[in-house]
Amino acid sequence: MKRIVSITISILFPVFLLGQQYETDFIISVADSLLKNKLGDSLFSYAKYDKNTYYKYISETGETCWKTLNKDKNTKGKFVEVDVRWDLEIPFPNCPELGTIIKGRTSILLDSMLNSTEEQPYLAFIPDIYWTNEKCQVISEETAIKIAKSQNLKKGIESLSGYFSYNREKKIFIWHIYNVLSRKHAFNDIYSKEVEIIEIDASTGNIINHDIFYLSPI
């Protein structure tokens, strides 16, 4: 009897030590299913799996490690969690100022049992008007520049220029008007700049922020 118990323990010990392991394709299919359920078939078709997705596991020596999910057929060691990521490029003709495509990255965090662990996926980069199929009602770049000029700007060294974006936190469209005050050579054809930036709510024309920044190459 003692011999049988000893054999049983010796068989189970490596399994206990290694913990849960999965086929990588199965993990991706679970995450895909969750994302598709949230986005719907049509929108999910614009999602491209990010091959740089990493998972976390505990090695046989007890070390915490990270490894690319699609590197091997099966996960290694004791599986802990994975943050499955996708890149989205969604056609969006309803706001020409923003461009014809909405680009962003979303992800779903799965625990050791492949359950989603938080409110997911992240979709804050998609404007609300996409879901309601509305057209964005925003002022033009020309109008935004006129508003910026009324703000007692410093003397710049070139014409004002604008950049249009969607603020994910505030959920508003913004015109960023740039007034370049000075430019200093950094290296090659790269320059550092002192820039006065006026941020304007593109829907109301209200000034959100007006400040001077030093922009240096990274």
Q: For residue range 142-154, what is the model confidence (pLDDT) as tens digits? A: 999 999 999 999 9
Q: Are residues 145 and 121 in the same domain?
A: no
Q: Are residues 28 and 53 in the same domain?
A: yes
Give the model's confidence band at 16: pLDDT under 50 very low, under 70 low, under 90 confident, else very high: very low
pLDDT digits (tens, 9 = 90+) for 35-90: 999 999 999 999 999 999 999 999 989 999 999 998 789 999 999 999 999 999 99
- Bridging pattern class, strands 161-167 and 172-187: antiparallel
Q: What is the pLDDT of residue 11?
A: 39
Q: Are residues 154 and 107 in the same domain?
A: no
Q: Are residues 78 and 6 in the same domain?
A: yes
Q: Are residues 29 and 94 in the same domain?
A: yes
Distance CA 171, CA 201 (A): 11
Ranking 23-27, 187-191, 209-213 by mean pLDDT, the lowest is 187-191
Q: Are residues 18 and 118 in the same domain?
A: yes
Q: Which of 83, 103, 132 is the last residue of a domain?
A: 132
Q: Which of 132, 150, 172 is the last residue of a domain?
A: 132
Q: Round the average pLDDT of the chain to a whole number and report it.
A: 87
Q: Are residues 31 and 127 in the same domain?
A: yes
Q: Are residues 16 and 110 in the same domain?
A: yes
Give the model's confidence band at 14: pLDDT under 50 very low, under 70 low, under 90 confident, else very high: very low
Could you list the residue range(s) of the whole structural domain that residue 97 is in? 2-132
Q: Are residues 106 and 149 in the same domain?
A: no
Q: Are residues 171 and 97 in the same domain?
A: no
Q: Are residues 117 and 149 in the same domain?
A: no
Please state the domain count of the chain: 2
Distance CA 158, CA 69 (A): 48
- Which residues contact residue 23 at a Cβ distance below 8 angstroms, ignoring those fewer than 6 apart? 73, 74, 75
Q: Are residues 199 and 118 in the same domain?
A: no
